[in-house]
Structure 1
Amino acid sequence: MHDSTGVEENFVPVDLLATPNYLSSKKHSININRNRILVILILIPLIVTVLGLITGLLVPRRKLHEISSSECFEAACPESWIGFQRKCFYFSDDIKNWTFSQRFCDSYGADLVQIETLLELNFLLRYKGPYDHWIGLSRDLGQPWKWVNGTEWPNCFPIRGGGECAYLNDKGASSARHYTERKWICSKPDIYAQMKRQTLSDLQSHRKRQKT
């Protein structure tokens, strides 16, 4: 049985349909909804495009900033060490004998300094100040000077005195007994030189494996 009191959801009274203003208003409302949909359809791709451009600009810049920051602030030498010509140098404040000095350097993965060029020697003489500093040269009685790694010293600068361990003073290099106490200088390759050496070592090992 049909409910006379019920009203269909989309029912519009006939008298309203006969009213021009109603039809115009209804049409206007439909046009507004269509315009809104068109605007939304236009804006969505535009917003996506703009966000894509912004992301594309910011991400490379951030990556570049991260790379440059890590490269700029990554220390080639440990704190309190001085970098010069792909080496790190430590100038001690304490005063100890030659043997203790070498042990101290070894505990930091270094050695008492091995001087390879006159430019390096001049740097050390300039930077050490007025104090004597042990270096990595020693000798047995009647034997030639050797660096701590066992290689013979090439006599590239004079060493004064009759001691068995060498040190730097204001005049250059001299020698004294190992038990006398002085400051000391440690040295080791900086991080980039170590990476280069490791790469070369890995390459050589790879070539040897290929030959076998």
Structure 2
Amino acid sequence: MVASMDSVGKQPEVYIPLDPVNPENGLGNQDLDECSGRSEQNECTDALDSQMLESSPLANGAGQEGMQQDNKVPNNMEGTNRYRKKFSKKKIVIAIIVLLLVLSLPFLCLFAAPKKPLQATSTPNLLLNASCPQGWISDEERYCYFFSDTESTWDLSLKNCSSSGGSLPMMDTSQEMDFINKNKDATEYWIGLRREKIGQPWKWTNGTEFNKRFVIKGDSPCATLNDGVQSSTDCDQPRNWICRKPLHGV
């Protein structure tokens, strides 16, 4: 607001500027006339200033909105801090779970590893098959074998084997021969080979004729096995015996 007075002493003219934000809110000629008629010029100008402040949008809505926006800043910061705290907690939980999984891997591998088969205590390096009776050993292919620790004649040995569901071994393959020689001790054992008399063919206990796969030393009618050598012995002589029966009932 600007007041001017001429040199003659006339009553000063008061110029009221328009509202810089909303020019339409400026005072009109009517307001100027009213102010010029008052006796107290200062009171008039003060009233006009108050009216301009009340009509200004900065004093009303714009100012309030600015204050509200200022108040929103701390709320946004609090939300950001709260999100960071939740995110940090999730990261800690995930790290703990991963650590527990890593620590439990050796135990899982230990339980998942295949167990070693049980070995027969009486015969080292042999598997004690669950399908073979106690004291018998398996070749893991076809048969269970029993090596006696007592002696008997050839006929009684065959009878003992038959009562157990087996027979004296026929050793019809080289693999079976190797298996028996590997697992027997130095004792002489009866095997399932016999002939009626000297000059007659050797036959297995099932009646099949011996194919002369190996040499049988001696002139006696019953065959034995000792240290990998097949020999003939009198059938009434006491010897240990070997029994063989099918594995899994084959």
Q: Which interval holds the TM-score relative to the shorter structure?
A: 0.5 to 0.7
Q: Does 2:158 correspond to 1:102?
A: yes
Q: 1:179 aligns with which of 228, 233, 236?
A: 236
Correspondences of 1:158-197 after superposition (within 5 Å): 158-191=215-248, 194=250
Deviation of 1:173 after TM superposition, in Å, equals 0.7
1:107 partner amino acid = S
Q: Does 2:199 correspond to 1:133?
A: no
* TM-score computed with the length of structure 1 as normaliser: 0.55
Q: CA RMSD in A?
A: 1.6
2:191 partner amino acid = I
Runs of 4+ in structure 1 deviating by more than 3 angstroms, as ranges, are none
Q: Distance in 2 between matches of 1:133 and 1:157?
A: 16
Gaps of 5+ in 1: 1-72, 195-212
- Please say if residues 129 and 138 of structure 2, whose CA atoms lie closer than 8 Å, have aligned partners that are also in contact: no
Q: Distance in 2 between matches of 1:182 and 1:90?
A: 14
Q: Does 2:126 correspond to 1:77?
A: no
Q: Distance in 2 between matches of 1:77 and 1:154?
A: 29
Which gives a bigger RCO, structure 1 or 2 (Cα 8 Å, sep 6+)?
A: 1
Gaps of 5+ in 2: 1-127
1:146 partner amino acid = K
- Please say if residues 129 and 137 of structure 2, whose CA atoms lie closer than 8 Å, have aligned partners that are also in contact: no
Q: Distance in 1 between matches of 2:146 and 2:129?
A: 18
Deviation of 1:92 after TM superposition, in Å, equals 0.3
Deviation of 1:76 after TM superposition, in Å, equals 2.0
1:91 partner amino acid = F
Deviation of 1:82 after TM superposition, in Å, equals 0.8
Provide the secondary structure at the position in 1 that maps to 2:244: strand
Provide the secondary structure at the position in 1 that maps to 2:172: coil
Correspondences of 1:42-81 after superposition (within 5 Å): 75-81=130-136
Q: Distance in 1 between matches of 2:133 and 2:214?
A: 29
- Please say if residues 125 and 172 of structure 1, whose CA atoms lie closer than 8 Å, have aligned partners that are also in contact: no
Provide the secondary structure at the position in 1 that maps to 2:159: helix
Provide the secondary structure at the position in 2 that maps to 1:88: strand
Q: Does 2:199 correspond to 1:149?
A: no
1:179 partner amino acid = D
1:184 partner amino acid = W
Aligned to 2:12: none
Number of equivalences? 121
- Please say if residues 130 and 169 of structure 1, whose CA atoms lie closer than 8 Å, have aligned partners that are also in contact: yes
Deviation of 1:151 after TM superposition, in Å, equals 0.6
Q: Distance in 2 between matches of 1:74 and 1:168?
A: 25
- Cα deviations by residue, 1:147-182 (Å, 9 ceiling, x for unpaired): 011111111111111110001011411110100111
Deviation of 1:125 after TM superposition, in Å, equals 1.3
1:81 partner amino acid = W
- Please say if residues 88 and 190 of structure 1, whose CA atoms lie closer than 8 Å, have aligned partners that are also in contact: yes
Please state which structure has a larger fraction of its residues in helix: 1
Q: Distance in 2 between matches of 1:76 and 1:163?
A: 37
2:196 partner amino acid = D
